[in-house]
Structure 1
């Protein structure tokens, strides 16, 4: 009965290899740094359960299976350490530069608010908007629309209104 494999013999080893590969190859991508942490934790838990099974009944399992699980446990611990350091580095990086970037956005927002308030204040107090000083002047236009001379039409209307006002 020494030919039995432990339950985590292939799976914990595969998880450890994948976690190390992703943590070393994907260390330039901060968002992927959490994936090897999760994979190595899962592999470590599975390897520990299998080692407890082996310690409970060593005659039922082969020694090569135990050595594979022990290797998987070491790989998962190494991967967990490397990927945790990378993850913590990226968290610190985003926290430091996130504060700097948020300060830049905050200053830009405050400057835009100050500029807008000053801009509105100038317009509200501008003398061009006082209704007491408003007067209107009719200007003569020489616009032609649909081959009708607008200028002649306006002159005719002005003459008619002047005649009406003189008659009254």
Structure 2
């Protein structure tokens, strides 16, 4: 009986656990940093697949427990990729929604400022003739009494 371990047995399992924990913690910040555990999961999955290929090429050299651990790491990495992928897409959608809301409010503010400046200009241009007409009407408007 051989007790040799596969090359990626510990590291694939560690990457799977770390990526799952970081993925759950990434939910707290709207998934903005979800690409980090996503990358870790992909690396862990590649390492687990390479170790399984190594096991199937020479089954006598490695223990079955090591193969089972790598299969567990592969499964956890796949679960982590799915969860972190969903969190990452959710983060992108949230950023797009916030970006749309912020850009529309900034655009409305700019338009309101432009409208206010136009209105201010129109009021300035209207006040002078109106005041002049009032003054001229009071001076010209006289009645003759017979």
Query: Aligned pair 1:27/2:24, yes or no?
Result: no
Q: Which runs of 5+ in 2 are unaligned?
A: 129-146
Specify the SS of the correspondent of 2:28: coil
* Alpha-carbon RMSD: 2.1
CA distance in 1, matches of 2:66, 2:121: 78
CA distance in 2, matches of 1:41, 1:97: 29
Specify the SS of the correspondent of 1:31: coil
- Aligned twin of 1:94: 95
Q: For residues 55-112 of structure 1, what are the alpha-carbon distances to aligned partners after superposition, in whole Å with 9 as ceiling and x for unaligned?
A: 1111121111111111100110111111111111121122123212211111111211
Q: Which runs of 5+ in 1 are unaligned?
A: 128-168
- Aligned twin of 1:11: 11
CA distance in 1, matches of 2:38, 2:126: 62
Q: What TM-score does the superposition give when structure 1 sets the normalisation length? A: 0.67
Query: Aligned pair 1:116/2:113, yes or no?
Result: no
Q: What TM-score does the superposition give when structure 2 sets the normalisation length? A: 0.77
- Aligned twin of 1:56: 57
CA distance in 1, matches of 2:26, 2:117: 45
CA distance in 1, matches of 2:35, 2:121: 49
Whether the 8 Å contact between 2:23 and 2:37 is mirrored in structure 1 is yes
Specify the SS of the correspondent of 1:28: helix
Q: Highest relative contact order (Cα 8 Å, sep 6+), 1 or 2?
A: 2
- Aligned twin of 1:130: none
CA distance in 2, matches of 1:10, 1:119: 72
Tell which structure's C-alpha radius of gyration is larger. Answer: 1
Whether the 8 Å contact between 2:38 and 2:80 is mirrored in structure 1 is yes
Q: For residues 101-139 of structure 1, what are the alpha-carbon distances to aligned partners after superposition, in whole Å with 9 as ceiling and x for unaligned?
A: 211111111211232344456668886xxxxxxxxxxxx
Higher mean displacement: 64-73 or 18-27: 18-27
Q: Once the 2 structures are TM-superposed, how far is the Cα of residue 32 of structure 1 from its aligned partner?
A: 2.0
